[in-house]
Amino acid sequence: MRKLFVLTLVFLGFFIVTKPQDAFSKAHFTPGGSGYMLASMPPPGLYYLMYNAWYQASDYVDDRGRKLNFPHTSTKVFSQTHRFVWSTDVNILGGNLILDLVVPLTHYDLGRTLVGGGDERHFGLGDPYSHVTIAWHGERYDALLSTAVHFPIGEYRENEVTSAGLGYWGLQPTAGLTLYFDEAKTWTWSTVIRYEISYDQRKTDLREGQNFHMESSIGKQLGNVALAASTAGSWQTTDARGKGLANGDRTKFFSLGPEVVVGIGRWGNLSLRCLFDLTVRNNPKGSMTVLTWTVPIFITGQDL
């Protein structure tokens, strides 16, 4: 039972959706990479996750929720993110210490209206980031507190929309909770909230505004298959600062969609999730599909 529980975990994710401006700034993190039981962290062991995310939009929405009446506003983004999670047996305040490293690779294909010239395509290494997490497990709940640091060592090109790296440090405190509605833990509700703080971008005078991020899911476990409905949202809480930025044009979005998670034995599980943008401001409006492979390399005290 414990092994099945581990194989159905889907961890926190990474995905970037751009926002066009005369000068360029954007947040490191956009929700949608994780869904079912995303606030439930694994028992001691080593785990690997690979996220494959596709985002596509043909429209861009302004501050009043209106679609821009311009051609060539298409947005296509593919991100493959590699995550290594080490759940230790170190006890802190009754929870176990968990460390991870997340390495994103991103390909952009943006229409000429968004980049101010011809269509632009680029593939590159994004800014890696790392969490320090304390996770608790109760009879009817799981919980976590975490802090992530974004390292500005990805491929950074000054003021370019398709730059995979962003050229600035980021700090992201996080809290999460999963509730189990039955003793067998087949019905679950899980949510994670984050607050992203950005620092000055090198070689420019820009600073991205602060952002509140949310991911949530409600799901049902049916043997080695789980079905869920997932949501993701992001709200910019402060203005971006810097020459050439349109002050007051804060971004936000909210999306909703279905998810299925399938256990594949020793090789972990596969998760497929589709999210559709419902409410958008100062961002593309489209849909995202995420395929995640989660595999336990070893679980302490267990043979896989």
Query: pLDDT value at position 208?
Result: 87
* pTM, to two decimals: 0.85
Do strands 211-222 and 269-281 pair parallel, antiparallel, or not at all (unpaired)? Answer: unpaired
pLDDT for position 139: 93
Domains of the chain, by residue range, sit at 2-299
| d(C-alpha 231, C-alpha 254), whole Å | 7
Q: Given this model, what pLDDT does residue 246 score?
A: 55
> What pLDDT, on a 0 to 100 scale, did the predictor assign at position 27?
83
Residues (pLDDT < 50) of the chain are 1-24, 115, 118
Residue 213's pLDDT is what?
96
2-299 is classed in which CATH architecture?
Beta Barrel (2.40)
Q: What is the structure's pLDDT at 71? A: 59
